[in-house]
Chains A and B, each alone.
Chain A
Amino acid sequence: MALDTAAEMVNQARILTQDLVQPYRYSDQEFLDALNTGILESKRIRPDMWPNGLPSDYLAVDTTPITIDPMYRMAFVYYMCGQAQLRDEEETQDTRAVMLLQMFYKQLMGLG
C-alpha cells in the first residue's frame, strides 16, 4: 500500500487502531478531519512541505490523490490514529495517543 489516496490513508489508520469491523468505532469523517488537521499542523512545523500552499481538505474516503510527499505519509497516518485515540474515552488509550502524536512530530522534525 503506497498510501496514494484518501481511502488508503484511512484504511491504514483503521489497521493501526484495529477498527476494521463495522460499525466502526471511529467514523470516516473523524479520520478525514484528523488528516486535514495534520496537514495544517505540518504547515506550521514544516512550511517547506507546502511550497505552493495547502491542499484542499479531504472530504471523502475515495480515490482523491494524497499530495503529501510519500516519505512523510506514514507520519500523517500516525497523526490520524493519535487524534482518534485522543478522543477515546478509555483512559488506557491516552498513552497510546500521546505516543502516536509524538511519532508524527518526531518524523517530521527528526530522523527518528
Chain B
Amino acid sequence: MTPDAAGGGTPPPARRIPWAAWAFQAGLLLVLLGLGAWLLSSTLDHLRERGVRAGFDFLKDPAGFEIGESWIHYESSQPFWRAFLAGLANTVRVAVPGIALTTLLGTLLGLGRLSRNLLLRAIATAYVELIRNVPLLVQLFMWYFALTELLPASGEALKLGPGLFLSKSGMSFPWPLWEAGHFWPSAIEWPEAGELNVSGGASVTPEFLAVLLGLVTYTAAFVAETVRAGIQSVSQGQWHAALSVGLTPRQTLRFIVLPQALRVIVPSITNQYLNLTKNSSLAVAVGYPELVSVANTAINQTGRAFECIAVIMSVYLALSLLTSALMNRYNKRVALRGGA
C-alpha cells in the first residue's frame, strides 16, 4: 500500500492533485489564449492607427507581375492567390524529384561509405565531408553560376545525347505527346537545335537545374550518413548468422540487414525530406520562382508582409505535415510490430 494509507483521516493528496492540475491547466490555456488575442488585436490596432492596411483581402486582387516558369497556367492579370499557387507548384516541382533523387544518391553513398573497396569508401567519405560542411546557399550559387557561366549560349547548345541539349537557357529533353482521351502517349517530341535556341520537347531552366542539383547533392550527404548509421546499427551477429546459413552478402543486405536498418533509417530520413522541402526556399537567391520568391514579390507590391509570411508559414507547415504523415505510414510498415 502507499504510505498515504497510513496517514489516517486526511484524504490522499492523489485525489486532490488532478483537480488542481486541471484547474491550473485550464487557467494556463485561458491566459495563453487571452495573451494571443491581445497580441493580435494590439498589432492590428497599431497597424490601423499608422495607416498601414492589413488583411488577406489583397489575395483576390490582380497580381500584376509575371512568374518566369510555372507548372500551372498563370499570367500577370490573375489574382495573388493564383500567383502563390504557381509558386507552390514550383516548390513541389523541385521537392518531389529532389526527394526521389536524394534517396537514390544518398543510399548509394551510404553503401559506398561501408564498402570494402577502399577507393569507393574514400570517394563516398570525401563527398560527405565536403558537401555537408559547405553552406547550401553557397553551393546553390556555385551550381547556378557554373551552369550560366560555363554553358554555351542557347544558339549553340551542347548536345549531350540524342535529343538532349544543354545551354544557358537550360536543358531540353524528349517528351511524350498525349492526344486527348488516350492513355498512352501517341508520339515522342524530340527537341531540335535551331539558329537562336533549342525548340520542341520539354525543357527545364538553369534556375530549376541549379536548385535541384544543389538540393539533391547537399541532402544526399546527410541521407548517406543516416543510411550508414542505420546499417551499422544492425549488430554484426546478424551478418555472421546470415552468411553462415549460406546467404550471399547481397542477399544478407537485402533480406536481413536492410529490413532491420530501415527501422532506424526511416524516421531520421523523414527529417531530411522535410529539410529538403524547406531548403528549397533558398532557391529565391538563384532566381527560381518558388513560393518564397513569389511571396517576396507580393510583399513588395502590396506591403502586406505579415500576411504573406503567414501564407508561407502555413504552406510549409502543411507540406511538412503531409510529408510526415506519409512517412509515418511507411514507418509503421517497416517498424517492429508487437512487443518484439
Answer whether A and B are interacting partners.
Answer: no
Interface residues of A (CB under 8 A from B): none
